[in-house]
Structure 1
Amino acid sequence: MTDTMWCRGPDDGGVWVREHVALGHRRLAIIDLAGGVQPMTLETPEGEIALTYSGEVYNFAVLREELRALGHEFGTTSDTEVVLRGYLEWGTDFAEKLHGMYAFAIWDGRVDKLVLIRDRLGIKPLYFYPTQDGVLFGSEPRAILAHPDAEAVLNLVGLREMFGACKTPGHGVWTGMHEVRPGGLVEFDRDGQRERIYWRLTPREHTADLETTIAEIHDLISEITRDQLVADVPRCVLLSGGLDSSSLTAVAARELAGQGERARSFTVDFTGLTENFQADTMRGTPDAPYAQAVAEHVNSEHQAIVLSPDAMLDAETRSSVVAARGFPIGIADVDVSLYLLFKAIKERSTVALSGEGADEVFAGYPWFHVPAIREAEIFPWMVPLVEMLEEAEVDEVLNDDLSAALDMETYIQDQYQVAIAEVDRLEGESDEEHATRVLKYLHLTRFLPLLLDRKDRISMAVGLEVRVPFCDHRLVEYVYNVPWEMMTFDGREKSLLRAATGPLLPASVAERVKSPYPATQDPRYAAELQRMAKEFLAADNHPVFSIMNRKWMEETVAMDPVGMPEVVRENLDRAIDVATWLDIYRPRLDLG
């Protein structure tokens, strides 16, 4: 089980075994490289306490001083020991004191109890699988599936979750498997299993005026970025040239300059994309010139990682990405380019800061601002996808029998109703204001987790720790409660973020319209996908057609790759991912 997580922790590893428990750990050394060895243990008169821990607690230095004042003595300078002693002092309530991204398991030998705890936004993954006489757990499903008591089975509910384009909190997709919920903890002992949520999005009255709100957001972003730059290894920033990453780069560069250091930044590009860029409905401009403008403006040490179609189509790379993701649920060219970008960065840095989460926190997506989409009674990010599929006249992508059994429309509507029922209403809140609160809640609890999961799996597949300052719970809580009129005070998307950080940026970047993560526009990429799909069609009873629609694939491979709609290419990419996933994980599909 521990060996499957080698990529997440290539620097060190350990196993700790006692009568009722076995803990394994793979370490990515970030803080106190010599002293933070795990599993870490602590002897008490009543019994031994042990910890296996993934992630970072950014306020560990403050907590360490608080614990020292209470009489604790430390043998290391690691945040790991702070977490262990924090549990000893405060029990599970100490989770509420933590700022950071973390997932960890504590074995409390004083009472023979296992405690699993996950950070508030679910930045770090943590899964568990109850068995007849205990429980298995791990950072990823493949760690659990390596145990002989766990079966790689997917039933209809798991398949619905896999293809549903939303992430249900607590759902582990594999039959019998669960996720520790974001902001949650689960305890196991002789009396059974207990779950508790220690943090959730809560409405509060916002009384500050616009000027004060903008200043508070600026100060929060500055403080959070400063905290997340703490590391004993090289750091960098992911810079796309959009408002989110550019704001983060500018703040990080300012903080590092105050420490006498120069920021390092990286962007991804594709061979010939900037020179031959063609604007479409999603992307009006290429990223590279804007990223370069920011780098020059803040004096960062900047490098563009340029990817060729051959690199993007490498079969071994695709297998690595699908194995890391665990499911064929991503957008393959985005996932593959992220993997290659992170792999290149890892050669130069071990920690990277990312602007992920800003769109969800600051209402950056176009559909936040389209009343018809907000009133559609469906997860809002799905409306543009449905429209693109209809416009491209795409037939059913999944095979007919599976599609009928899944009944995805009903499942998604049911999940939507469950999600909106969770949203608490502030006393006196108008219907319009509550509707926008629901919109923010859906993105933070059902959409952002998909992006965070992708970011974690793909970055950790190459041993790169990606930190996400915009997902700090203090910023999320604050902006969640800012009234909609104030969030859109100038009639644009991400008004508050632009006002808080725009003065640090070149005018061209501060005023740039949102552009999604870049995709290759080279028709050779689509043509090669078609060639691979033709091999599936030529084979006798290829396993991919247990999930994908053969007629749809036949029609897609007959298309002209030049001008192929992006949504069609993405589905073809996903079909090849499905075939790769079936070959790697060899799941049993339980469709009864």
Structure 2
Amino acid sequence: MCGIAGWVSYEVDLTQRRDVVDAMTATMACRGPDDRGTWVRGDVALGHRRLAVIDLPGGKQPMSVTTPNGEVAMVYSGEAYNFAELREELTGLGHTWETDSDTEVVLHGYLQWGDAVVDHLNGMYAFAIWDERDRKLVMIRDRMGIKPFYYYPTRDGVLFGSEPKAILANPLAAPVVDTDGLRELFGFTKRPGWSLWKGMSEVGPGTLVTVSREGIRTRTYWKLDARPHTDDQETTVARVRELMTDIVDRQLVADVPRCVLLSGGLDSSAITGLAAVRLAEQGERVRTFSVDFVGQEENFTPDEMRDTPDSPFIRDVSRLVGSAHQDVVLNPEELTDPAVRRAVITARDVPAGLGDMDTSLYLLFKAIRAESTVALSGESADEVFGGYRWFHDEASVNADTFPWLAFRNGLMSQREALLRSEVGARLNLKEYVADQYRTAVAAVEHLDGESEHEARMRTVCNLHLSRFVRMLLDRKDRTSMAVGLEVRVPFCDHRLVEYVYNTPWSLKTFDGREKSLLRHATEHVLPASVRDRVKSPYPSTQDPGYAAALQQQAKEVLAEKDNPVFDVVDRDWVHRVSEVDAATMAPYQRIGLDRTLDLHHWFDIYRPEVRLD
């Protein structure tokens, strides 16, 4: 795992601008604390920060190969989980090796197959290859969009980086946010290619972008296709078990300490159980980490998203698999520490407004990094197997909008309540979300003969895999890499995603429960309590002290006369919410205060120019 950055210019001699590329690369030092490198030629400059995970002494980057017709150089972020098989195949085709790294395997795969190397890779990755033979840059991102990747077209080339901050460190990129950027920030639809920053775009998941003198071309090499599913229930469960076992085995490969994130839910517990079996075969004990809050278990109150606290289930899993477990227990002071909030905003480049769900994740990862460099996570299982509560809520499923915005009176859509009226009018979020929904639905492929219900559930699953999960993957990557921790997501293996996506909804829920396939495929490594547990999302503190601390910080912002946050946020709204009883504060009000404080710090850190046209 690493951070990459670069600059292609067909009219400027970049050998004279090494300092700029070094500055771009330096913004991502946290992504790669182990090493740095720069490779510069006339048309191109590549920068790299390395987090050493595979072949610690040998995987230095940028990495290049000299061919009879010119050099081919690469900067690479991520992991190719099938690199051992690819290495063997390429060896048979005449390739020789100088390292044991997966980076070298991917580079040689490009030399052998060109752009078609993407069809051979299993993993999470974002990489850029400069091919001197054609004087072109090729940028490639993994199928599910696990690793972030952004680019910024210029008059004579392109800037790129793992994160927007790398691109913004180049004087050619202006830190401008326009109406279009703000719409998605508050709309919560994950528009394909969106970046908050004007002129900057995301390399799409499963997409290849080529830059040459002729311009910029994009090609989608992978998407969710509708295919017939012919396996019966028993065969389907067995196939999911086989895939899950193989995926976890592959993703445990590392030359550094590994662990598993354990929440006590079905998803993370399944990963933990499978990992424990594999590591036991190697004579190792699995390490697990969980996040919790002071007094949460003792004072837990069921709400519309969570029926039970996590801790009892975590203990059950840890006892069953014999893990070396550590709880990271946080209090409101830690969760609302302005320094932690600023670290999260800097990591994510956007004022996301997720509050303690962001700060607790960051603090959890920081604690884990003291013990491990690689962590496996249960992220994305709900999108793949249909686990969220709104998948099973008829009103949300049939709503004429994204289900996560419709669930329980649209809590997430109420995030716009804090906007100044004139800003809300300009953003017109209702129409924006409706347009994004229509576009997303139109892109879904269906099979002939699908029932109306099966077709609708295929659409709902597609929306989550093509939109919703990508927000969560970005969040997890940014907050983990901010402390130099590599988080792997087994449920995003494209083989599993493709197989389960095309499994009929009736099979996904064959036992009358959510995630039936996963539950039955992994029940052999689960305690009964977790096997029967109802879905519970990532934890959030219920301590009223958290809301009270937000109110106090909001009052401090209100006391600032000309704070730019109030160019966007309604000052009166913040004042009213800062005076309500913290113990009875509505969820959308707490979210609004978190968003206000995020915006406050974001304006201070990035000094953006906001253009509301």
TM-score band, normalised by the shorter chain?
Answer: over 0.9
Could you tell me whether the CA contact under 8 Å between 1:166 and 1:447 is conserved in 2? Answer: yes
Structural mapping, 1:265-344, within 5 Å: 265-344=288-367
Structural mapping, 1:27-106, within 5 Å: 27-106=50-129
**Pair 1:263-2:278 in alignment:** no
Q: Distance in 2 between matches of 1:476 and 1:389?
A: 26
**Could you tell me which of 320, 325, 348 is aligned with 2:371?**
348
**Pair 1:213-2:226 in alignment:** no
Deviations 1:513-554 (A, max 9, x none): 111111112211111110111112222122111111112111
**Pair 1:490-2:511 in alignment:** yes
One-letter code aligned to 2:260: V
Could you tell me whether the CA contact under 8 Å between 1:39 and 1:52 is conserved in 2? Answer: yes
**Could you tell me which of 124, 136, 144 is aligned with 2:167?**
144
**Could you tell me which of 178, 193, 211 is aligned with 1:170?**
193
Structural mapping, 1:464-479, within 5 Å: 464-479=485-500
Q: Distance in 2 between matches of 1:370 and 1:534?
A: 38
One-letter code aligned to 1:29: A
Deviations 1:287-307 (A, max 9, x none): 111111101101111110111
Determine helix, strand or coil for the equivalent of 1:128.
Answer: strand
Q: Distance in 1 between matches of 2:380 and 2:70?
A: 41
**Could you tell me which of 431, 451, 458 is aligned with 2:452?**
431
Could you tell me whether the CA contact under 8 Å between 2:405 and 2:411 is conserved in 1? Answer: no
Structural mapping, 1:401-550, within 5 Å: 401-550=422-571
Determine helix, strand or coil for the equivalent of 1:205.
Answer: coil
Structure 1 residues 194, 389: closer, same or farther in 2, change over 3 A?
closer
In structure 1, stretches of 5+ residues that fail to align are none
**Could you tell me which of 23, 29, 49 is aligned with 1:26?**
49
TM-score, normalised via structure 2 length: 0.95
Bigger mean CA offset, 273-282 vs 195-204: 273-282
Instruction: Give 1:389 deviation, angstroms.
Output: 7.6
Determine helix, strand or coil for the equivalent of 1:562.
Answer: helix
One-letter code aligned to 1:45: P
Match of 2:38 in 1: 15
Could you tell me whether the CA contact under 8 Å between 1:273 and 1:521 is conserved in 2? Answer: yes
Deviations 1:212-236 (A, max 9, x none): 0000001100000000000000000
Instruction: Give 1:340 deviation, angstroms.
Output: 0.2
**Pair 1:378-2:398 in alignment:** no
**Could you tell me which of 219, 235, 253 is aligned with 2:258?**
235
Instruction: Give 1:394 deviation, angstroms.
Output: 9.0
One-letter code aligned to 1:362: F
In structure 2, stretches of 5+ residues that fail to align are 1-23
Bigger mean CA offset, 134-143 vs 500-509: 500-509
Deviations 1:328-381 (A, max 9, x none): 124111100000000000000000000000000000011111222211110000
Instruction: Give 1:432 deviation, angstroms.
Output: 1.9
Q: Distance in 2 between matches of 1:327 and 1:516?
A: 23
Instruction: Give 1:563 deviation, angstroms.
Output: 2.5
Could you tell me whether the CA contact under 8 Å between 1:269 and 1:304 is conserved in 2? Answer: yes
Could you tell me whether the CA contact under 8 Å between 2:491 and 2:497 is conserved in 1? Answer: yes
One-letter code aligned to 1:81: E
Q: Distance in 1 between matches of 2:412 and 2:315?
A: 34
One-letter code aligned to 1:474: R
Could you tell me whether the CA contact under 8 Å between 2:390 and 2:404 is conserved in 1? Answer: yes
Bigger mean CA offset, 484-493 vs 111-120: 484-493
Q: Distance in 2 between matches of 1:126 and 1:187?
A: 14
Q: Distance in 1 between matches of 2:415 and 2:87?
A: 57
Deviations 1:62-91 (A, max 9, x none): 000000000000110000000100000000
Q: Distance in 1 between matches of 2:107 and 2:531?
A: 43
Q: Distance in 2 between matches of 1:217 and 1:141?
A: 37
Structure 1 residues 188, 394: closer, same or farther in 2, change over 3 A?
closer
Q: Distance in 2 between matches of 1:331 and 1:214?
A: 35
Q: Distance in 1 between matches of 2:39 and 2:281?
A: 42
Instruction: Give 1:387 deviation, angstroms.
Output: 4.0
Q: Distance in 2 between matches of 1:550 and 1:395?
A: 14
Deviations 1:400-432 (A, max 9, x none): 111000000000000011101111111222222
Match of 1:572 in 2: 593
Could you tell me whether the CA contact under 8 Å between 1:145 and 1:151 is conserved in 2? Answer: yes
Could you tell me whether the CA contact under 8 Å between 1:395 and 1:552 is conserved in 2? Answer: no
Structure 1 residues 25, 256: closer, same or farther in 2, change over 3 A?
same
Could you tell me whether the CA contact under 8 Å between 1:57 and 1:100 is conserved in 2? Answer: yes
Could you tell me whether the CA contact under 8 Å between 1:114 and 1:187 is conserved in 2? Answer: yes
Bigger mean CA offset, 414-423 vs 275-284: 275-284
Q: Distance in 2 between matches of 1:292 and 1:98?
A: 37
Determine helix, strand or coil for the equivalent of 1:528.
Answer: helix
One-letter code aligned to 2:239: E
One-letter code aligned to 1:303: Q
Instruction: Give 1:189 deviation, angstroms.
Output: 0.8
One-letter code aligned to 2:136: K
Instruction: Give 1:385 deviation, angstroms.
Output: 6.0
Q: Distance in 1 between matches of 2:33 and 2:158?
A: 26
Determine helix, strand or coil for the equivalent of 1:341.
Answer: helix
**Cα RMSD (Å):** 1.3
Could you tell me whether the CA contact under 8 Å between 2:405 and 2:412 is conserved in 1? Answer: no
Determine helix, strand or coil for the equivalent of 1:265.
Answer: strand
One-letter code aligned to 2:277: R
Q: Distance in 1 between matches of 2:250 and 2:64?
A: 26
Determine helix, strand or coil for the equivalent of 1:104.
Answer: strand
Could you tell me whether the CA contact under 8 Å between 1:205 and 1:426 is conserved in 2? Answer: yes
Could you tell me whether the CA contact under 8 Å between 1:361 and 1:480 is conserved in 2? Answer: yes
**Could you tell me which of 367, 377, 383 is aligned with 1:360?**
383
Match of 1:135 in 2: 158
TM-score, normalised via structure 1 length: 0.98
**Runs of 4+ with >3 A deviation:** 385-390
Report the identity percentage: 59
Could you tell me whether the CA contact under 8 Å between 2:50 and 2:61 is conserved in 1? Answer: yes
**Pair 1:114-2:108 in alignment:** no
Could you tell me whether the CA contact under 8 Å between 1:56 and 1:79 is conserved in 2? Answer: yes
Determine helix, strand or coil for the equivalent of 2:555.
Answer: helix
Q: Distance in 1 between matches of 2:412 and 2:342?
A: 27
Q: Distance in 1 between matches of 2:364 and 2:277?
A: 24
Match of 1:2 in 2: 25
Instruction: Give 1:209 deviation, angstroms.
Output: 0.4
Could you tell me whether the CA contact under 8 Å between 2:186 and 2:415 is conserved in 1? Answer: no
One-letter code aligned to 1:530: Q
